[in-house]
Amino acid sequence: MNDKEFVNEVRRKLRDNGYMLISGDFIDKLITTLHANVTTINTMTEIAEIETKLQDISAHQPTDRQVNSLKELSQRISEIAFNVEDVRHDQQA
């Protein structure tokens, strides 16, 4: 049995027993995507904060709720990214 057949057999048996392995490549792509989402949301947060300041100047109601919501979303996605990184490290150990 060559290495590839062995790896496939181990994966099949793990899957059959209710275990799921996620490929390192997928985890790397997921982490990259999550970090990109955080960067995008942080940029949106900065834009919302600037809009809030402009609205304050124009005597409109501020959108503090939107800013806080974006900050919370960014934080949650960051936490997910760190958890996924932990999964990758656990799988590599």
Phi, psi of 59 (to 5 degrees): 65, 30
Kindly list the domain boundaries of the chain, sorted by start residue: 23-92
One-letter identity of residue 45: T
Quick one: pLDDT at residue 18? 75
Phi, psi of 20 (to 5 degrees): -125, 125
Phi, psi of 7 (to 5 degrees): -60, -45
Q: Say yes or no to pLDDT of 3 above 80.
A: no
Look up residue 26 and give its two tokens. 């997928």
What pLDDT, in 10s, does the model give residues 12-65?
888 788 776 777 778 788 888 988 998 999 999 999 989 888 877 776 555 678
Indicate the pTM of the whole model.
0.51
Mean pLDDT, to the nearest integer, of 61-74? 79
Report the half-sphere exposure of 24 (CA within 13 A, side-chain side).
Answer: 5
